[in-house]
Structure 1
Amino acid sequence: MSENVTNELIFSVLQQMQADMSELKFDMRDIKGRMTMVEEHLGSSIIAISGVNSRLDRVTDRVERIEQRLNISEHR
């Protein structure tokens, strides 16, 4: 099987490769943008969880003080 490789064939293949590469670049920009949104959302979630943990720690401290005042705390 012998095909003649012409400049036109090479040019055609290169044009298709260029179009494919352009599409890949566009898709990568989209993926990067989406990834940034995911990272920002994750960061917000971590901050929210940290706030909840802080409030829970304060509630735990208050309950421990109440238990001590009522003399019902468990000795550890």
Structure 2
Amino acid sequence: MSEPETPMLQLLRRIDQKVDRLGERVDDLTARIGSVESQVASLRGDFVRLEHRQDRFDERPQRIEKRLDLVEA
């Protein structure tokens, strides 16, 4: 036996469909946020590598000055 199609039942079905669509959107947004988090983590690593390179560049003139005896060793 099928239930009679009441306005309340129709409303509940529409709500159920909307909740399902919202669940799909939340899943999609969760995946996208995970991707953004990965990219931010990668950028942080890039910045760390750049800082290390900058530190090495700062050391180069000091080494050159020592080699040329421009400063006391």
Fold-level similarity (TM above 0.5) = yes
1:15 aligns with 2:17: no
The whole-number CA distance in structure 2 between the counterparts of 1:19 and 1:67 is: 74
Q: Deviations 1:18-75 (Å, cap 9, x if unpaired)?
A: 0000000000000000000000011011101110110110110122332455537xxx
Q: Say what the alpha-carbon RMSD is for the aligned residues.
A: 1.8
Mapped partners of 1:39, 1:46: distance in 2: 11
**What is residue 22 of structure 2 aligned with on the other side?**
24
Moved more, 60-69 or 34-43: 60-69
Question: After the TM superposition, which segments of 4 or more aligned residues of structure 1 sit over 4 Å from their partners?
Answer: none
Alpha-carbon distance between aligned partners in 1 of 2:13 and 2:61, rounded to the nearest angstrom: 72
| Rounded Cα–Cα distance in structure 2 between residues aligned with 1:25 and 1:61 | 55
The normalised TM-score by structure 2 is 0.79
The amino acid of 2:21's aligned partner reads E
Residues 1-76 of structure 1 correspond to what in structure 2 (within 5 A)? Answer: 8-70=6-68, 71=70
**What stretches of structure 1 of length at least 5 have no aligned partner?**
1-6
1:15 and 1:63 map into 2 onto residues whose CA distance is 74
